[in-house]
Amino acid sequence: MNTPVAELFTLLVGVGIILLVATGIGQWLAAKHTGPNTSPVVDNLNARIAAWWAMVVLLGLAFLFGKAGVIILFGICSFAALREFVTLTQTERADHWALVASFYIVLPIQYGLIWYQWYGLYSIFIPVYAFLLLPIAAAMRAQTDQFLVRVAETQWALMITVFCASHVPALLNLNIPGYEGRHVLLIAYLVVVVQLSDVFQYVWGKLIGRTKIAPSLSPSKTVEGAIGGILSATLVGTGLFWMTPFTWYESAFLSLVITLMGFLGGLVLSAIKRDRGVKDWGHLIAGHGGFIDRMDSVLFSAPVFFHLVRFGWDISP
């Protein structure tokens, strides 16, 4: 049996080869569209590829440092994503303490509970205790204007950017017989399959996309692109069963579930952006917008993947 390091290295090399091919194609297309013939689509594609290189390197370094590296990486991503979300919400001075608590108390505690593997608490800490206590902190300031909207937006921001995101490093805490010491591969599997689904949807949409799925939410998403991307990523996930505790048909089922959840999550977060009148959540990642723009699919798929694997393969009491 291959070691986790060897399997992870094999996966990263495979992704690197794909990116090298994509880089070559992107540069060839850019050379064809120079001067007055510059193509915004080609420029966007190359920006996305460059951003992908940076993200793969960052994720690889996090994997190299093991549990601490993964938890720190996703904790930082949650902080940045929460900041992006909050900038689009309706906040008042009365929400100051609730927001401070969200960033500097709730978020660190959630990831601290992941570190200490306290499943009984990190699985309910935000949707129970944070959701109950934060509105109290806001209510004590006695500003009732749009109170329900303000509270709901803060709660939803925490749910999406912290609670959901924290289920990625939580995969390290699973107790799967015969899979000891290899849980980082589950994270790599989740991220690679879901993100490749986004890439494939983009490619298939550009190649054969005709029928818009939800023009008012995401004009670039098409039925053909979605079907082609989800099925292509499911096929890749099926082929990656060797790095998981799943059989090939179990891997096919889980890949289909997480790619579907990723696609639907993208639609939900697009609806929020349209409601707020913005195209992207942020501008920190060239070609990708903000952190939430890049993490949207993973945010919706991670909790579902975690609990399916925990209840299906984990033997913890």
* Pick from 38-47, 137-146, 149-158, 230-239: least confident: 38-47
The chain-wide mean pLDDT, for the chain, equals 86
So where are the chain's domains?
1-11+181-317, 69-173
CA dist 219 → 203, 209, 233, 264 (Å): 15, 11, 22, 15
Between 221 and 311, name the one with better pLDDT: 311
Question: pLDDT tens digits for 248-287?
Answer: 999 999 999 999 999 999 899 888 888 888 777 766 655 4
- CA neighbor of 134 nearest in space, from 159, 94, 102, 88: 102
Polymer length in residues for the chain: 317
Mean pLDDT of 286-298: 73
Q: 212-221 — which CB contacts under 8 Å span 24+ positions?
A: 213/267, 214/267, 214/270, 216/274, 217/267, 217/270, 217/271, 217/274, 218/266, 218/267, 218/270, 221/266, 221/267
- Residue type present at position 262: G
Q: Is residue 309 a contact partner of residue 177, using CB atoms and an 8 Å limit?
A: no
d(CA 228, CA 237): 14
Q: What is the pLDDT of residue 1?
A: 42
Residue 107: how many other CB atoms lie within 10 Å: 23
String of DSSP letters for 240-304: GGGGSSS-HHHHHHHHHHHHHHHHHHHHHHHHHHHHHT-S-S-SSBTTTBSHHHHHHHHHHHHHH
Name, of 92-101, 155-164, 192-201, 218-227, the range with top average pLDDT: 155-164
